[in-house]
Structure 1
C-alpha cells in the first residue's frame, strides 16, 4: 500500500471518528450561528446602539494602528497594548 493511500485512509478514519463523537456527544456545540443565542455577558449591535443613544458608549478599537487609521467607528479610541505598551506605562 502506498503512503498516499495510507494517508487517505487515516484521514477518512479521523473524519469518521470526529463525526461520530460529535453526533453522540451530549454537549456537542452547534455548527452554525443561531440568532438570539448570546452569553449573559454579550450584547447585540442593536442593544449597543440603543445604549449609545440613551447613556453613551465608549468604543475601544484594539486593532493595529494602521487598520484604525483606515477606518473606525466614530468616536472610537485606539487601545492596542501590543503597539503602545510602553506608552501606556508612562505617567
Structure 2
C-alpha cells in the first residue's frame, strides 16, 4: 500500500485522510503517512481542501507542496520530523 500524497510505501503507522473533509460531508478516506497528513493540514484549510476535492484537482501537483514532496521522496516509510505550521 502507498501513501495517497507522496506515493511512498507506507510504514507501521498509517493515518486516514478525507480528501473531501469530513466537516464538509466527506466519507471516503485515503491512507497517508502521519507526516504527510500533518503537512496537508498545516498547508491547506478545510475550505481549500474541499474546493480542490470538488474540482478534482490533484493535490500532489500543488506548488505549495512541491518542496515537501521533493524533500520527503528519499525518506524511509516511518520517517518523522516536526511539521512547520502554516504562516
User: TM-score per shorter chain, which class?
Assistant: under 0.3
Bigger share in helix: 1
- TM-score of the pair, normalised by structure 1: 0.20
Larger RCO, structure (CA 8 Å, separation 6 or more): 2
- TM-score of the pair, normalised by structure 2: 0.21
Give 1 or 2 for the bigger CA radius of gyration: 1
